Structure 1
């Protein structure tokens, strides 16, 4: 009797059974791979609205920015959002307001030409809504800030595709050294960031 008689030799796993396993492995690998994006400057801007005389409001815009975003599918707490705005490009509804905003009593753009938000954690409340915690630096002062964000698509399921989002927060301008004209200009500033992320 030869060795092996009466025994079933090992057979290779059929290819059709391997395909689902390979697909599952690829999906799991993709789900944990950091997805990196750059901000599309042509489709991104920041606005800052402040009460004026307690009866109306004025809005300034920062149309120039650049930034990088990293989202880790399955681990949103590891997200990083780093956005820099060009303060020298600030726009205002009239020349007097523009001159004041550019000057020493407000953004002092000659000395502090950029404003930066660095977010270090994304907490999702739903597939498209959440908060980003980080720091805002303006006029040489850095303070904690939290953005409430709304994505136009699930950033996890649509990782690697263009995604737009809107982020809002409210700051107290006095914390950043902007304490002038308090009888005319409100202290609370509503900031809105609208951005489009393009996969790198």
Structure 2
């Protein structure tokens, strides 16, 4: 065995050990029940409707020392949406928007966490609504909770176009842009 082969073997073994060590330190987190996972839609600068998913299954594997290995998933029950304007339920749950009868869930699956420093991250992933999957980027703050090490404070936002997911454009005065937000805490599982 020559020196180059030995060096390659040592480097491969070190990389495997580092990978295993990183996976061991990544912890499993879930969103607290009080965490807001929802959206608001505006038209002409005024809030038309806000919606909160009351039933969300979530998981995040995260180690701040190795964010490149992090992952996050959300499964939202669209039927659990509570709306600021209940009078719009039929329209929002109907075929023109969420089409809940055919698509009862919405999902987000990350594929990359990019650290921007100072507890700020850009989380890239895929959002699926109405059976249509599109890439989205969540601008996210993940800060250790100063009073409880079992919690991470989260603030995450993105903006998307309803029509990208097959929803009717500018229907009944509702704007095209939808503000998505996650605000609350991840807790250690």
The structure in which a higher percent of residues are strand is 2
List gaps (5 residues or longer) in structure 2: 1-19
2:173 is equivalent to residue 184 of structure 1 = yes
Shift of 1:180: 4.5
2:102 is equivalent to residue 114 of structure 1 = no
The structure in which a higher percent of residues are helix is 2
Shift of 1:77: 1.5
2:64 is equivalent to residue 51 of structure 1 = no
2:105 is equivalent to residue 129 of structure 1 = no
Shift of 1:99: 1.6
- Taking structure 2 as the reference length, the TM-score comes to 0.78
Shift of 1:193: 1.0
Residues 50 and 189, structure 1, Cα contact 8 Å, conserved in 2: yes
The 2-side partners of 1:34 and 1:67 are apart by: 19
From the CA coordinates, give the structure whose radius of gyration is larger.
1
Residue by residue, what CA displacement relative to the aligned partner does 1:18-67 show, whole Å, maximum 9, x if unpaired?
A: xxxxxxxxxxx866624232323412221211113x25112122122011
The 2-side partners of 1:135 and 1:67 are apart by: 15
Give the equivalent residue in structure 2 for 1:171: 160
How many pairs are equivalent? 167
2:88 is equivalent to residue 97 of structure 1 = yes
SS of 2:51's partner is: strand
The 1-side partners of 2:143 and 2:29 are apart by: 16
Shift of 1:123: 1.0
When residues 37 and 195 of structure 1 are mapped into structure 2, their CA distance, relative to the original with a 3 A threshold, is farther
The 2-side partners of 1:73 and 1:51 are apart by: 35
Q: After TM superposition, which residue ranges in structure 1, 4 or more long, deviate above 6 angstroms?
A: none
Indicate which of 138, 143, 150 corresponds to 1:152: 143
The 1-side partners of 2:184 and 2:25 are apart by: 19
- Taking structure 1 as the reference length, the TM-score comes to 0.74
When residues 35 and 195 of structure 1 are mapped into structure 2, their CA distance, relative to the original with a 3 A threshold, is farther
List gaps (5 residues or longer) in structure 1: 1-28
Superposed CA RMSD in Å reads: 2.3
